[in-house]
């Protein structure tokens, strides 16, 4: 899983098209131990690279949001805590273990959807979430070949954010995403680049603050 965020932490499942990893999942989390959280958060402020976590083995279905019988409006997960190892870099690709056996407290998933090789999703769609100060976009993964992409963005002072909810938007970030044209896309996602997103026919101008994660190999490019 990729870990990212500022005051609010998120983790993103490193999905694949095959079972049991064929889900796109984003959920808010927090570091359970306050003293440990203070130390780890100081490290996160100075380390600017990719952070991934290797969790204990568990069934991903336990992260599916379900409604509490006593409160139909409150969704939770069946799994409320997990123990993880935190890595600098990708834990499966030479990452360095920095913090072993860290407990995370889990909130309900804000994205939980199956990945399908033959998905009929069209267009360049992203999920937007966070708040006006710390805004994020996560690409809606579609049919193979495709990608996983997480961005930190700015410029959404008038965007209708809702706490721990996502908005699905269309984007002008990449109109060309297949074959040789994909290299054009890679060259366009630099820090400082600006582009448009559209929600309910309203356009917003946003700027790339950080490319948190970008992956094509796992999606057969």
- What is the value of pTM for the model shown? 0.89
* C-alpha gyration radius of the chain: 17
- For 16, 109, 128, the CA distances from 185, given in Å and listed in that order, are 21, 29, 20
Both 89 and 124 in a single domain? Answer: no
Strands 167-171 and 194-199: antiparallel
Nearest Cα residue to 131 out of 10, 3, 1: 10
Last residue of a domain, one of 112, 136, 156: 112
Nearest Cα residue to 136 out of 194, 208, 195, 49: 208
pLDDT at residue 35, rounded to an integer = 94
Both 52 and 151 in a single domain? Answer: no
Helix (H, G, I), strand (E, B) or coil at 112: strand
pLDDT at residue 175, rounded to an integer = 46
- pLDDT tens, per residue, the chain with 221 residues: 999 999 999 999 999 999 999 999 999 999 999 999 999 999 999 999 999 999 999 999 999 986 444 444 455 668 999 999 999 999 999 999 999 999 999 999 999 999 999 999 877 899 999 999 999 999 999 998 888 999 999 999 999 999 989 999 998 775 444 444 444 455 557 889 888 999 999 999 999 999 999 988 888 75
Q: How many alpha carbons fall within 13 Å on the CB side of residue 44?
A: 19
Domain range enclosing 100: 2-112
Both 170 and 183 in a single domain? Answer: yes
Both 99 and 152 in a single domain? Answer: no
Both 145 and 51 in a single domain? Answer: no
Per the structure block, which two tokens stand in for 68? 């509490």
Q: Domain count for the chain, please give it.
A: 2
């Amino acid at each position: 899983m990729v870990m990212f965020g500022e005051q609010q932490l998120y983790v993103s499942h490193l999905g694949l098209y095959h079972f049991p990893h064929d889900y796109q999942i984003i959920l808010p989390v927090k570091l359970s131990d306050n003293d440990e959280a203070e130390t780890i958060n100081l490290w996160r402020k100075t380390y600017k690279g990719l952070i991934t976590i290797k969790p204990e083995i568990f069934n991903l279905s336990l992260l599916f949001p379900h409604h509490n019988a006593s409160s139909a409006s409150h969704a939770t997960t069946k799994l409320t805590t997990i123990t993880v190892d935190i890595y600098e870099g990708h834990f499966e690709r030479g990452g360095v273990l920095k913090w072993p056996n860290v407990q995370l407290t889990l909130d309900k998933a804000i994205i939980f959807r199956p990945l399908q090789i033959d998905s009929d999703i069209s267009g360049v769609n992203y999920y937007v979430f966070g708040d006006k100060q710390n805004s994020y976009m996560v690409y809606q993964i579609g049919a193979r070949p495709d990608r996983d992409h997480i961005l930190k963005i700015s410029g959404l002072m008038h965007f209708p954010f809702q706490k721990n909810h996502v908005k699905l938007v269309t984007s002008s970030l990449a109109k060309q995403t297949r074959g040789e044209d994909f290299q054009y896309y890679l060259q366009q996602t630099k820090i400082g680049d600006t582009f448009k997103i559209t929600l309910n026919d309203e356009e917003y101008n946003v700027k790339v603050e950080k490319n948190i994660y970008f992956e094509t190999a796992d999606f057969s490019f």
